[in-house]
Structure 1
Amino acid sequence: MLKDEELLVALRKVIRAIDMRSKQLSREVGLTGPQLIVLQEVGKRPGVMVKQIAESINLSPATVTSILDRMEARTLISRIRSTEDKRRVGVFLTESGQEALDKAPLPLQEHFVNRFSALEEWEKSQMVATMQRIATMMDAEKLDAAPLLEVGNLDKPII
């Protein structure tokens, strides 16, 4: 097999692993990866605002708002306007949101981060540089991306 084919096979395996884990998460908890990440942020910081969530997970506020809209429709979170400043809206977990968070498996990126952390610094640097180069070669360096492993639309509904 040619080197470019070997690389494409490896990339395809990574994409398939992400897809399989996303489907497992959806089956077990009914959440997408991004929904779980947002739920975790809200669980860590009750009353957090959309802009703070967006900054924390590297997504646009519009994307986070769309994710929150879907989660609010499923009563996983609630948004409460501040009594001191009407412009501020805090996001809180509901009881069912906390239950979903408690039942959720470890997100794939946490599993990955645990293994990545065990590498030597030079290996980490080499991997980051290589993946950044691949992103550039695929004209993807300017795409909006969060540090989470999920495929598909970030705000897709769960059916």
Structure 2
Amino acid sequence: MSENNVELCAKYISLIYRKSGEPIKKLLKSIGLTSTQSILIIGIHRNSGINQKDLSNTLYIDTGAISKNLRILEDRNLIYRIVDESNRRNFKLYLTEDGKELLEKNEGLQMEFWEKSLEIFDQNELEQFKSFLERLEDNIG
């Protein structure tokens, strides 16, 4: 791949990430979440009973940011913690019923945004795009 193509790919990946962030941030604000809290709620839902350290590793989010946001989510009754009997210094994380309701709103808003953003592609192009993104993510590690 020529250096110019690599630069263009990196440029567009970065631009898409940054440009999508602002409208998604506004959508999340409308339901009382930050981007980090949104990611945490989805991560806890997909890995129910996960501990904080594993959640940090799974989501590639700094443990300090996770601690702060987990406290906020717990104070809002969106998550709860249970002591891990195999290691009493750890807590297993779960969504409350309120957290599950907010998760549905969160996922719905984000799905709407991405469906609208990707409507320019036909089904075949979307399949190819998905395949490219999966390969890229696998190659990054």
Identify the TM-score tier after normalising by the shorter chain.
0.5 to 0.7
- Which protein has the bigger helix share? 2
The runs of at least 4 aligned residues of structure 1 exceeding 4 Å deviation read 114-117
The residue aligned with 1:146 is none
Verify: 1:80 aligned to 2:82, yes or no: yes
Aligned to 1:83, the other structure's residue is in SS state coil
TM-score using structure 2 length: 0.64
The residue aligned with 1:60 is 62
The residue aligned with 2:21 is 18
Correspondences of 1:1-159 after superposition (within 5 Å): 11=15, 15-27=18-30, 29-104=31-106, 105-107=108-110, 111=114, 118-119=128-129, 121=132
Aligned-residue RMSD, C-alpha:
3.4
Structure 2 CA distance for aligned equivalents of residues 118 and 22 of structure 1? 28
Among all aligned residue pairs of Structure 1 and Structure 2, give the percentage whose two residues are the same amino acid: 23
Sort the Cα spacing of 1:74 and 1:88 in 2 relative to 1 into closer, same or farther, 3 A.
Answer: same
Aligned residues: 114
Task: Identify unmatched segments of 5+ residues in structure 2.
Answer: 1-10, 137-141
The residue aligned with 1:136 is none
User: CA shift at 1:24, angstroms?
Assistant: 1.4
Aligned to 2:81, the other structure's residue is in SS state strand
Structure 2 CA distance for aligned equivalents of residues 82 and 106 of structure 1? 33
User: CA shift at 1:54, angstroms?
Assistant: 0.7
Structure 1 CA distance for aligned equivalents of residues 17 and 83 of structure 2? 41
Structure 2 CA distance for aligned equivalents of residues 87 and 24 of structure 1? 36
Aligned to 1:118, the other structure's residue is in SS state helix
- Report 1 or 2 for greater relative contact order, CA contacts < 8 Å, sequence distance ≥ 6: 1
User: CA shift at 1:107, angstroms?
Assistant: 3.4
The residue aligned with 1:157 is none
Task: Identify unmatched segments of 5+ residues in structure 1.
Answer: 1-6, 126-159
Aligned to 1:46, the other structure's residue is in SS state coil
Structure 2 CA distance for aligned equivalents of residues 24 and 55 of structure 1? 26
Structure 1 CA distance for aligned equivalents of residues 105 and 32 of structure 2? 10
Sort the Cα spacing of 1:33 and 1:84 in 2 relative to 1 into closer, same or farther, 3 A.
Answer: same
